[in-house]
Each structure stands twice: as structure tokens, then as C-alpha cells.
């Protein structure tokens, strides 16, 4: 079930909420489908690949190793850096995710995010 939720959220993120302008400094929130995140850029690419190929063993291993996970709908975040080409609809961004127990600096995709209210 988790693999399907992850794959669906990635695909939904690719379809909706794309930003093609620089995002540094934007105050955003996670959209309704959730948002994949990882501690390292290389892990994010691997995590997304595993999800899109429905490799549940691979996805589970990365989550168990505390390399990656999913941010919940509505999680507040601030964009710290456009990591890849900021002119592309979907690229990697470095964010600070703000949760009830604190914050963390992680990497995610530039799609699937909404303006924070």
C-alpha cells in the first residue's frame, strides 16, 4: 500500500503544482498527495526511481535506513536552494521542513507543493 501511495504522490506532483521560476526563499506547504524527501540528493533520485518502478523492497530499505521518507500533507517548508536547473518544471530543491517536533533540512522535488497560507 505504501508503495502505491508514494508512486501516486510522485505522479500527482509531476502533474500539478509545478514551479518553473526560482524558488529560493518561498514559503510553501506539502500538497494533498504528500511529498517524498531524502537526506541526500543521490538518495532522492534513487528513492523516486524505486517508487516509480514499484520496487517495494528498495523503497522499504531506504525508509528503514532513515535515508528517505514522505512528508505529510500541509507540512510547512521553506526553500533554501534550487539544486538543479531552476528553469525546469521539476528539479531538486533543498528545503527546511517544519514539523511539530522541530525542523529538518532535506531534499525534495519542486513539484507537488502549494503556497503556504
Q: Which three cell numbers stand for residue 33?
A: 498527495
- The count of domains in the chain is 1
Cell of 85: 536547473
* Element (DSSP H or E) covering residue 3: helix 2-15
Sole residue written with cell 517548508: 77
Residue 51's domain comprises: 2-115
Give CA–CA dist 85/104, Å, rounded: 23
Please indicate, yes or no, whether the overall pTM of this predicted structure exceeds 0.75.
yes
Closest C-alpha among 8, 11, 4 to residue 111: 11
What CA–CA distance (Å, rounded) separates 115 from 21?
A: 14
pLDDT by residue for the chain (117 residues), tens digit each? 555 555 656 555 554 444 456 788 899 999 999 999 999 999 999 999 999 999 999 999 999 999 999 999 999 999 999 987 666 678 899 999 998 889 999 999 999 899 997
Cell 522499504, located at residue: 60
Amino acid at each position: 500500500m505504501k508503495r502505491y501511495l508514494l508512486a501516486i504522490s510522485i505522479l500527482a506532483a509531476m502533474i500539478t503544482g509545478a514551479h518553473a521560476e526560482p524558488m529560493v526563499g518561498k514559503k510553501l506547504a506539502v500538497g494533498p498527495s504528500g511529498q517524498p524527501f531524502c537526506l541526500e540528493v543521490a538518495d532522492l533520485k534513487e528513492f523516486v526511481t524505486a517508487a516509480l518502478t514499484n520496487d517495494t523492497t528498495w523503497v522499504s530499505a531506504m525508509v528503514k535506513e532513515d535515508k528517505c521518507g514522505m512528508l505529510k500533507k500541509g507540512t510547512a517548508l521553506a526553500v533554501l536552494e534550487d539544486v538543479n536547473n531552476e528553469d525546469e518544471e521539476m528539479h531538486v530543491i533543498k528545503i527546511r521542513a517544519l514539523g511539530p517536533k522541530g525542523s529538518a533540512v532535506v531534499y525534495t522535488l519542486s513539484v507537488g507543493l502549494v503556497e503556504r497560507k
